[in-house]
Amino acid sequence: MPTEVTPVPRARAADELKQAALEQFATVGFAGTSLQHIADAAGYAKSSVLYHYGSKEALLEAAIEPAVEGFEAVLEEFLAGRGSGRRRTLVDRVVDLLLLHRQAVHVFLIQGPSLSELPIIARANVAVRRLAAAVCEERESVEDQVRFGIALGGAAFLLTAGRTFADEQMIPSDDELRDALHRIISEILTPVRTTGN
């Protein structure tokens, strides 16, 4: 009689529910996700969701807070540092965060406008605005804003909803994605330097 049934029961339920909620939030949206669906997806009762997280909003906060904190940390690191490789390092870190927290990013980027009354979303929106200012630096032309928006929103789209439109047999690995994302985003954020080259 091996004990293989539940070898690692550590914080099982809370994390399972959080992950199920994150997937629903990123696909159907926060308003369109019901606690019942989250509970069903994770194999629990609706009451259990409200036991581990006091409310639907608290669940959202727990689900995306790590991602927001990641962006804030990367931003602080960039603002505190100096040197020539700063921008490159920033793009590096941001791409890693996008890959690691793709669902959370999708939530507070796409649904940020409609959920800005929630404290955690407001925090995320502030972080994104500061990131935009950092990337565009002092040159705050319209084109720079557009470049930043396309790069960030495009990456968020690609990593979640975009998978639906790709060929099924062509699912790139995260390493491939990281490589391509870093190259393309750097290219987008670096204004045209003689494309003919």
Partner DNA sequence: GCAGGATCTGACCGATCGGTCAACTAGCGT
Partner DNA sequence: ACGCTAGTTGACCGATCGGTCAGATCCTGC
Cβ nearer to DNA, comparing 5 with 142: 5
- Interface stretch with DNA, choices 55-63, 77-85, 87-95, 125-133 (CB under 7 A): 55-63
Interface segment toward a copy of itself; rule CB under 8 A; list 4-12, 40-48, 59-67, 140-148: 140-148
Question: Looking at beta carbons only, is 79 or 126 nearer to a copy of itself?
Answer: 126
Of 1, 8, 80, 142, the residue at the interface with a copy of itself (CB under 8 A) is 142
Query: Is 114 a binder of DNA (CB under 7 A)?
Result: no
Binding to DNA by residue 136, rule CB under 7 A? Answer: no
- 9-48: contacts with DNA (CB under 7 A): 11-14, 33-37, 39, 44-48
CA–CA distance, 168 with 166 (Å, rounded to integer): 6
Euclidean distance between CA atoms 188 and 180, whole angstroms: 12
Total residues contacting DNA (rule CB under 7 A)? 22
| Contact between 177 and a copy of itself per CB under 8 A | yes
Longest Cα separation, the chain: 69
3-class DSSP string for the chain? CCCCCCCCCCCHHHHHHHHHHHHHHHHHCCCCCCHHHHHHHHCCCHHHHHHHCCCHHHHHHHHHHHHHHHHHHHHHHHHHCCCCCHHHHHHHHHHHHHHHCHHHHHHHHHCCHHHCCCHHHHHHHHHHHHHHHHHHCCCCCHHHHHHHHHHHHHHHHHHCHHHHHCCCCCCCCHHHHHHHHHHHHHHHHCCCCCCCC
Residue 51 interacting partner from a copy of itself, DNA, none (CB closer than 5 to 8 Å by kind):
DNA
Which residues of the chain form contacts with a copy of itself (CB under 8 A)? 27-33, 109-114, 116, 125, 128-129, 132, 140, 142-143, 145-147, 149-158, 161-167, 170, 172, 176-177, 180-181, 183-185, 187-188, 190, 192, 195, 197
Which residues of the chain form contacts with DNA (CB under 7 A)? 11-14, 33-37, 39, 44-48, 50-52, 54-57
